[in-house]
Amino acid sequence: MSTNNKFTTRRQLLKWLSSSPLFAFPGIASIAADIPAFAPPRRPDPIMWAPAALQDLINNPKEAINVFDFEPVMRKNVPPAHFGYMASGIDDEVTLRANREAFLKYYLRPRRMNDVSKVDMSMEMFGVKYDSPIFVAPTGGNKAYHADGELGVTRAAKAGNHLSMLSTAATTSIDDAINARGGPVWFQLYATSSFEVARALVKRAENAGSPVVAVTVDRVGGRNQETLFRLRRTDTRVCKECHESASGGGAGGDRDRRPNYAGIDLSSAASMQSANMTWDFVRRLRDVTKMKIVLKGIVTGEDAALCIEHGVDGILVSNHGGRGEDNGRGAIDYLPEVVEAVKKRIPVLVDSGFRRGTDIVKALAMGANAVGIGRPYLWGLGAFGQPGVERVLELLRIETRAAIQQCGARSIKELTPAHIGKAV
């Protein structure tokens, strides 16, 4: 039935009721008279005026209004399999969605009548000062998205003086990343099942001048990346030209061709995962390096307390952007219990799902020392290379500063749990 017919029928029904002795009352005739022959459907509130169609893509980074403007441009530019690898969660991707939806559980509590004309967003981590609490989280294979790759990302981090981390699986070496940054770059470690391989990777990073190793502890098995698998079917390229197999098979697939693995014997690594890792790994790693040790993937208060007990230097709360497990809990939900267990004895960082300045400020108010960005800067990279990454980071800095001001704070140090409320 058309919308016009629906309203006409309703009007006729009310007129009939008004004449029926069973439903007679004075007001119904006037109600029927007031209903027009045609009434438009109620519009959404608020109306979403911004165009969302793919034909309305931005043409350069400066046109971007928020970080989401970059993703459809990346989708247009990047081969389907590569885009699918970036976009994937695992299984039903409930954790991927939960990372975003969880922010709706919390709201910022604005405070007024403070002079917030000047805001200090700087933070210090292991003796190094950065201009922002936003750090560049480690992501692998960046040249699959743009020729600028990790070097472009690192140079963008330098432009905004952000802390940056480089993945073991990067398409550039830790040496080249540090040279491009002109300063410290943390090294994210995929330890593999072999401590000898892990030791060799860490020594390479230490010799290059990396001050911190962030050990990923949540990659203990394979993952069912359904979005990747479906998009890969639409990719007409011959993947074997770049990969040992379409699924990255073998002892690491094409990873032994990545620069950080160069010259390292991987034969002792039965798996590129770390299913055999225990707390003894921290002790053994401490014996072979002077680097600070951060564990990436700690998500419970119990494990955070064990980090303190075993002399870990820092914690990175992370669920691998929804790519490690599909338990359905957002990363921001883990943060309070980890912060409570740590009690400010070591730094607590967090990543996974952060897209807005308000997201970042919520985490800082909960007690995080720094907040990591992953997919958004990859969107910028895939869309426009290094200038895209720079714009993504700039937009997040602008939004973060505004959210801090609304909290009535003049620095990130003034943000406290009192600035956070939980939605009922």
Amino acid (1-letter code) at residue 131 = D
* Residues 174, 259: Cα–Cα separation, whole Å: 8
Residue 101: is it exposed, middle or buried by C-beta count within 10 angstroms (0-12/13-18/19+)? middle
Residue 320 a catalytic site member: yes
Residue 103 in contact with residue 109, Cβ under 8 Å?
A: no
Q: Which of the following is catalytic: 82, 146, 162, 320?
A: 320
Torsion sign over Cα 394, 131, 315, 403? negative
Q: Across the beta sheet with 134-136, what order do the strands follow?
A: 134-136, 370-373, 348-350, 314-317, 292-296, 212-216, 186-189, 165-167
* Residues 297, 189: Cα–Cα separation, whole Å: 12
Tell me which residue has tokens 């390229």: 237
Tell me which residue has tokens 């981390």: 165
Q: Where are the alpha helices (DSSP H) in 105-225?
A: 149-159, 174-181, 195-208
Dihedral of CA atoms 415, 419, 422, 424 in degrees, nearest 10, equals -170
Task: Tokens for 85, please give them.
Answer: 């690898």
Report the half-sphere exposure of 135 (CA within 13 A, side-chain side). 28
Q: What is the DSSP string of 24-69?
A: --HHHHHHHHHS-S--PPPPPSS---S--SGGG--SSGGG-SSGGG
- Sequence-distant (6+) residues with CB within 8 A of 117 are none
Tell me which residue has tokens 């290379």: 385
- Residue 216's SS3 state is strand
Tell me which residue has tokens 């070097």: 151
Annotated catalytic sites, by residue? 320
